[in-house]
Amino acid sequence: MPRVLLAGATGLIGGLVLARCPDAIPVSRRPIPGRPGVVADFDDLPPLPPAQVAVCALGTTRAKAGSDAAFRAVDHDAVLAFARAAQAAGVTHFILVSSVGANPKSGLLYPRTKGEVEAALAAMAFTRLDILQPGLLIGPRSERRPVERFLQAAAPLMDLALPRHLGSLPAQAVAQAIVTLTQRSEPGVFRHTNRSISVSAATLR
């Protein structure tokens, strides 16, 4: 497996990826017990260790962040700061956990921010860029997200009425797909919705 830098290792997806990639180097604001890594603020990242692949699973919500600006500081600014630092460290393959509905022209903050980040990363000209756009993620979070918890509980019924790409997806499947993608080398920009994420996850089993 190529050497991997991982941002967002304390979150739902990032934590699952970290467990599946024993040699991954976490880049985080606070130490992760038992896992040596880079501990720094994303607005002042030091030079990162050389690596071939970077995985970014950073993300928050407007409610948790407290303001539009604070949300963008994580989901936009920190993501791009990590991408620039990773590229400087020699990374040629970048993997982003984005969201279904990402659109830089959206009138809504969340999908607009995700879409702007996707466009900015594409402009950075990584040899390979994988953008995962999952629907609602199903899995236990360490933080409280009441609305998301309600949607997770309602997901089985909602999925019956939604197109496949808008439905829910187990967080473990997203993490498994990411591990599979770290080993892909075909150049280009690839976007993965629920269906292709599930296919990539299945190839790891």
- pLDDT tens for residues 135-189? 888 865 455 455 445 444 444 544 444 445 556 788 999 999 999 999 999 999 9
What gap in Å lies between CA 92 and CA 87, rounded to an integer?
Answer: 7
What's residue 167's pLDDT?
Answer: 61
**pLDDT above 80: residue 190:** yes
- Tokens 């970014």 map to which residue? 56
Cα–Cα distances (Å) from 78 to 43, 69, 74, in that order, read 7, 12, 5
Q: Average per-residue pLDDT in the chain?
A: 87
What's residue 154's pLDDT?
Answer: 43
What's residue 25's pLDDT?
Answer: 97
Supply the range of the domain harboring residue 41: 4-203
Residue 200 near residue 180 (C-beta atoms within 8 A): yes
For residue 97, give the 3-state DSSP assignment: strand
Query: In the 8-state DSSP scheme, what is residue 77?
Result: I
* Tens digits of residue pLDDT in 54-92: 999 999 988 889 999 999 999 999 999 999 999 999 999
Mean pLDDT within 8-21: 95
What total number of domains does the chain contain? 1
**pLDDT above 80: residue 12:** yes
What's residue 202's pLDDT?
Answer: 66
Q: At what angle do helices 109-123 and 79-88 cross, to 10 degrees?
A: 10
- Residue 51 — very low, low, confident or very high, per pLDDT cuts 50/70/90? very high
What gap in Å lies between CA 51 and CA 63, rounded to an integer?
Answer: 34
Q: What is the pTM of this model?
A: 0.86
What's residue 150's pLDDT?
Answer: 42
**pLDDT above 80: residue 199:** no
What gap in Å lies between CA 17 and CA 12, rounded to an integer?
Answer: 9
**pLDDT above 50: residue 116:** yes
Mean pLDDT within 79-108: 97
Cα–Cα distances (Å) from 17 to 5, 152, 159, 171, in that order, read 11, 21, 25, 10
Indicate which CATH number applies to the domain containing 134: 3.40.50.720
* Residues ≥6 apart with Cβ < 8 Å to 122: 129, 189
